[in-house]
Structure 1
Amino acid sequence: MSAPTAKLLLAADRRKVAPLDPAEPLTIGRAAANRLCLANQEGVSDHHAVVRFSSSQGWLVCDWQSSDGTFLEGRQVHQCRRLDDGDEIRLGRSGPVLVFKCAVTPAPPSSPAPQSISVGNKHVAVAEIRTASVQSEPQHPHIFSWWLLLCLGGLLLLPFPLLFWPLQAGALAGWILLGSRKQHKLTLVLRDGRALRHGFANRRTALAHRNGIRQAIGQDPALP
């Protein structure tokens, strides 16, 4: 896989740009030895994160030795995760945000621009769309309350360990499994004020649709 041209922009000031070199990982942190030194930014560790290119996976962001974590589109990066055009990287829970910008290969000049876009089972004219965005929400927002209630109720079985421990283990597994599931909603706001929504199980697919729609209506996919 050839490396597309890419860069990082500081969300608070998009004039500050760090070009990315596929041959040399971009180290990020407060220490002066980093290729991207953020010495004056709160929440950034000395050696916080690395952005590098993989010939098999594309551009990746990896947590390095951060104390407050590295977050990609709101989800914590535990090892490495793939970057897509427009993704936001937050250093720490309240640190600076970097926007990943990747060059998109333009369509051939002879390719006609789409006149309408399909969202779910609906067709929307491109000219009617004002904005497109993606929001991620838990599929089971009340799972913690149900898990806590089940654990407290399980205390009644405490004298019966053969029943108590399997119940607690099952409750914990269910909480981890269901609590990690999210639905990613693509929202289109039309020029007449109406909003159309469509859910995706995969965030990358939802972002791909969002970026494609933004390109069709002439907006920058990297906008928040």
Structure 2
Amino acid sequence: MRFLVSGGPTHEYLDDVRYLGNPSTGAMGIAVAEAAVAGGHEATLVLGPTHLPDPNGVTVVRVTSAVEMHTAMMEACAAADAIVMTAAVSDYRPRSRAEGKIKKGAHHMVLELAKNPDILSDLGRIRGSRVVLGFALEAASPDEARDHARDKLTAKNLDAIVLNRRGSFGGAGMEDVSVLEADGGATELGAPDKASLARWLVAFCEERGAHGAGGARES
């Protein structure tokens, strides 16, 4: 199989030194790409800004912004059999980017934002027979988190979504992970390390691909 994986954050620059972003490291996306290669597959990783090195045996495409990631994913998806979207993509970007560094001035500054493209939704619309997985990070109650994740699963036309529920958005790591499937199934994985979760996801894609279960559903 040919895997297409996204990972890391996106940085949306306000000026030449400041940006809107998040603390994602890209480790989950790297782990999935490494697990795919270890399983004998080809892997392309579209990776946002991170200090982590490129994984061995993986074709890595480095990007900065959500728009760049969208372009790279859409260009690479035609050759993919399975798509795993782990990236923490910024929902919005500054409507304009100032040159140089914005100087301190008034006590308040209004920042106008523009909506970024929804990469996973766009991939879901053109998925064809590909297996497509997404991620959802939630700090809601267990029932609310599942409802939100299932809504995302359906709206974006996915085979499955990895729900990482946390008690709060502080800290990092996997606290309460479950995989919700389009057919209504769910697998509780507890608090796995990223490498273990990556291997599980690659095996899921292998099973779906082998049985021809991936593919667009009517919405």
Q: Determine if the TM-score, normalized by the shorter chain, exceeds 0.5.
A: no
Q: Larger Rg: 1 or 2? A: 1
Structure of greater relative contact order (alpha carbons < 8 Å, 6+ residues apart) = 2
Name whichever structure is richer in helix by fraction.
2
Q: Return the TM-score normalized by structure 1.
A: 0.30
Name whichever structure is richer in strand by fraction.
1
